[in-house]
Amino acid sequence: MADKIKVLISEEELNKKIKAMGEQISKDYEGKTIHLICVLKGGVFFTTELAKRITIPVTFDFMSCSSYGSDTKSSGIVKIVKDLDESIEGRDVLVVEDIIDSGRTLSYLLPMLEQRKPASLKLCTLLDKPDRRVCDVPVDYTAFEVPDVFVVGYGLDFDQKYRNLPYIGVVEND
Ligand code: IMP
Ligand code: MG
């Protein structure tokens, strides 16, 4: 039977917030080129929507890291599945994530990227679940804070499903 999904953040709310965030980032980085690093796969919808709202030059790269398993809770073991194609040395890097949950992924990823000597390194996330934080992560831009519920849509999956939903929803198992 198909899962029932309750809308938590509507498409309209997402569009409005991402537009405002794109404007803010364009101001903050004025005169520079932003190198956006999309964290696959979850960050892909947010990255493309955000990039469309940024009015200064943007370049892209992609990386993929996973915590093992398809459980709804991260295991804490982070694996780089796909590394960046290009060097980030001397570039103004903005990492784009779908959600910060325990913070384990980013607390592994950010120091690793910092070692590659970017001119600047900032973090932007669509969603933040502060109640679940285990590792402290410095977040520069957050679109929405969400409660401690498992969310799907706009890039976020449950067992690889629902990434294509144009809103953020909660799966209701009954
Ligand atoms: P971390 O716990 O901060 O390391 O987050 C690891 C990853 O778990 C995130 O980048 C997401 O891909 C995934 N994740 C965490 N919470 C959720 C959720 O509510 N829905 C879907 N994926 C999630
Ligand atoms: Mg992710």
Q: Tell me the pLDDT tens digit for each residue of 119-130.
A: 999 999 999 999
Q: Is the CB of 127 under 6 A from ligand 1?
A: no
**Locate tokens 């919808």: which residue?**
45
Which of 39, 65, 74, 144 is the best mutation target for the ligand 1 pocket, counting ligand atoms within 8 Å of the beta carbon and taking the most? 74
In our burial notation (b when 16+ CB lie closer than 10 A, e otherwise), range 159-174 reads: eeebbebebbbbbeee
Burial of 69 (C-beta count, 10 Å sphere; 0-12/13-18/19+): exposed
Q: Which of 101, 131, 136, 159 is catalytic?
A: 101
Per-residue pLDDT of the chain (174 residues; tens, 9 = 90+): 578 999 999 999 999 999 999 999 999 999 999 999 999 999 999 999 999 999 999 999 999 998 765 555 555 678 899 999 999 999 999 999 999 999 999 999 999 999 999 999 999 999 999 999 999 999 999 999 999 999 999 999 999 999 999 999 999 876
- Residues 6 or more apart whose Cβ sits within 8 Å of residue 158: 3, 72, 150, 152, 171
Element holding 115 (H helix, E strand): none
- With CA atoms as reference, report the closest residue to 150 among 170, 172, 166: 170
pLDDT for position 69: 53
* Of 149, 145, 152, 136, nearest in space to 102 by CA: 136
